[in-house]
Structure 1
Amino acid sequence: SILPGTLARFDREAPNYQKDGYNDFNTFYIQAASGTKGGSSGSPVVDCQGRAVALNAGSTSSSASAFYLPLDRVVRALNLIRGCRDPFGSKPESAYIPRGTLQMTFQHKGFEETRRLGLRNETEQIVTQFLTMESLLDESVGREINLQVERGGTPLTVKLKVGDLHSITPNHFLEVSGAVIHPLSYQQYSALKNILMQIK
């Protein structure tokens, strides 16, 4: 079936699907009122000209809101996977898809809100998406980048080393007497940080 919908937001932060489960971060979704149902996750979102622009990623049961994942980074990952296959079409080697991180969570904020916090209009251009920054981080894993920030009205330039998101993502576990022990993931820390900060 094909459901029509109207795109309402292009900067929707990752939905909180579970209080203590996996929730995405630093990924900004398209929000629409299309009333998608369970089982449609991963289906394409097409524009009026038939071009795929996003993937259906989730919805809320309490309203008709649906969340679509833009294809920019999906296409990048697909091209990296394709690049691992030889011209004869044999099975590719394991594709490495770099994911850079500064181990911080970014948020879209309106200019009026940031101006109340002291950000001046002449400080920087108005940013409507993080795609340029995502590309810079993903292509700079292990290298230092210059980051310009404004703190208390004073512009600062700091050097930060871009980390590898895969290195802080658990890829093994240990099972002992029915219990499973594994490293704490970045997603779990984000979900449980208030509890973990109380542990001394």
Structure 2
Amino acid sequence: MEASGRLERTYAMIKPDAVGAGNAERIMQQIEVNGFTIVQQAKLQLTREMAEEFYAEHAGKPFFEGLVTFMSSGPVVALVLAKVNAIREWRTLAGPTNSNRAREEAPESVRALYGTDGQRNAVHGSDSPSSAQREIRFFFPNLVLDPVPDSASATEYIQKNLQPILTKALTALAKEKPSSDPNEAIVWLAHWLQKNNPNAPQVVS
């Protein structure tokens, strides 16, 4: 992970060959072990029309008809992944497009482990930010794609908005010592935060 990298979302798809072989769960475990967060997932079967629309950029190419037939031949698992440099990192983890080449050049990649050839290669991954946005919207049209905050922004938000009130709450909890039971302490803390919420609306009697 590069310090200068930004947290991104990307689109990943587990193709019919890998789903049909029962490898979808293994692939998702490999994704998570490699530091990705699965933000959204859905299992579905593409109609031929959906496959043609999704791969429209390849229309007219010799492999297009075979690709559409393959992608509509069985269920797929659509995924939205998040990680620093997610687009590049997912394509690296997926491996070279041709599974045989992947086994030679990246033997631990997803395609090396679960793919068969250049088409039945287990997974798909967006190749650019614009492609990721388009492909995510294709499968998850209701997903809000707000910019993902980077770690520095998240840290700044926590320090500015949460740390002061949490420090006061924990200090009060330490003084009060409501119970040795952790659950009761959590309930006490929740009530304190609710009562002392600086953003709570003021009720005028």
In terms of fraction of residues, the more strand-rich structure is: 1
Q: TM-score range by the shorter chain?
A: under 0.3
Which one has more relative contact order, counting CA pairs under 8 Å at least 6 apart? 2
Larger Rg, first or second structure (1 or 2): 2
> Whose helix proportion is higher, 1 or 2?
2
> TM-score, structure 1 length as denominator?
0.23
Report the TM-score when normalising by structure 2: 0.23
